[in-house]
Amino acid sequence: MLLCILTLVSKWAIPLLLLIIPIYGYLKKVPVYESFVEGAEEGFTTAVKIIPFLVGMMVAISVFRASGAMDYLTQFLSPLTYQIGAPSEVLPLAIMRPMSGSGVLGLATELMRVYGPDSFIGRLASVMQGTTDTTFFVLTVYFGAVGIKKYRYSIVTGLTADITGFFAAVYICNLLFR
Amino acid sequence: MLNLIWLLLLTSGIIVAAANGNIEIVTEAALGAAKGAVEVCFDLIGIMALWLGIMKIAEKGGLVKSLARLMRPLMVKLFPSVPPEHPAMGAIILNLSANMLGLGNAATPFGMKAMQELQELNSQSDEASEAMCTFLALNTSCITLIPATIIGVRLSCESANPTEIVGPCIFATAIAMIIAVSLDYWFRSKSRWGRH
């Protein structure tokens, strides 16, 4: 039942938006096609503007990951997370999550294949995936789009939210699925 | 802060690679990522253009403004430095709604639009404004009502109950959001105190 509703919503959300907004605009006497083109024009400049920011961030993250430095960080932290009820298998997810969206999705999929989606690890990995955000990517892209170089306290806030999300995910999964 | 994180990621990676006698991996990873970043941006161009075009129609029809008016009581509390009628408000609401519904590819263009609108209010042009920090705190911690991607993965792995994680996700994101907004509020009052 829930699955039905959710898949329906995610299947229909975008087509409905593409249907309703232009019709609404047309009824309000907006020149719909011209307005679309006018808005779309900004897409190119904005996307190009974020290139330097994204190159900088992705190079650093990629070197960190590929060199094995991330594995050391995981090993270093795993005794701590074990204490709070998180199997060490999910730790790379938590550490990588703020840095790389696609990388982490691959990791989560791999965990579910190996341990099964309905195992504790599979469920925890799912909740973690749905909970935290790719904070570095979001900050890089959003600030990059307007040329902001000084992020002030927003990194601390974003990373704290990620850590909180991780702990909350571990807590609720232990409560419900153990 | 960011300078330090960036430097640490890069240097610790290079040192570890050197210590493991595997220094070639640094070159490969760095060049590959530089190329990959540009590919990400190119993929973004079309999606950005599509959603910004659609948003322009919604804006001209007054839809964005009515949405902003609907959420106004909450928005003026969260963003005291943004005039309630400012177009940034509408873009922020669109971005957060797309996030909640798990429409990642629509969320990004709306988010960038919101940043551009906020940038017009920002007097220190290369430093994040308070409103931007609040927006990003909301954005990165945003409640997820439909974690569509992960439900898809669970389905493909033949889970007996792919949606059982929806409730826990809502719980965990709600907690994260409360913490992020409170922390942002705390930083904001502190920084106002110390600065002009």
Q: Is B67 on the interface with A (CB under 8 A)?
A: no
Q: Which residues of A touch B10 (CB under 8 A)?
A: 59-60, 63-64
Q: Give A54-101 pLDDT, tens digit per residue.
A: 899 889 999 998 999 988 988 888 888 888 889 988 988 888 888 877
User: What's the pTM?
Assistant: 0.88
Cβ–Cβ gap A43/B158 under 8 Å: no
**CA angle, residues B181, B108, B32, in degrees to nearest 5:** 110
- Asked whether B33 and A59 are in contact (CB, 8 A), the reply is yes
| SS3 assignment, position A150 | strand
Please determine, for residue A166, whether its predicted confidence score (pLDDT) is greater than 80.
yes
The residue behind tokens 């609040």 is: B134
* Sheet strands (E) in B5-163: none
Which residue stretches of chain B have pLDDT < 70? Answer: 192-196
Residue B61 parent element (H or E) = none
If we measure between CA atoms, which residue out of A55, A89, A65 comes closest to residue B33? A55
ipTM of this complex: 0.86
Q: Residue B34: which of A55, A135, A148 has the nearest Cβ?
A: A55
Q: How far apart are CA B129 and CA A178, in angstroms?
A: 44
Q: Which residues of B touch A39 (CB under 8 A)?
A: 52-57, 59
Domain ranges (residues) in chain A: 14-42, 50-177
Percent of chain A with pLDDT over 70: 100
Q: Residue B101: which of A9, A145, A149 has the nearest Cβ?
A: A9
Q: Residue A6: which of B28, B151, B158 has the nearest Cβ?
A: B151
Q: Distances in Å between the alpha carbon of B7 and those of A40, B10, B23, B109?
A: 36, 5, 18, 29
Q: Is B95 on the interface with A (CB under 8 A)?
A: no
CA distance A113 to chain B (A): 6
Q: Distances in Å between the alpha carbon of B171 and those of A93, A115, A140, B22?
A: 19, 24, 27, 43
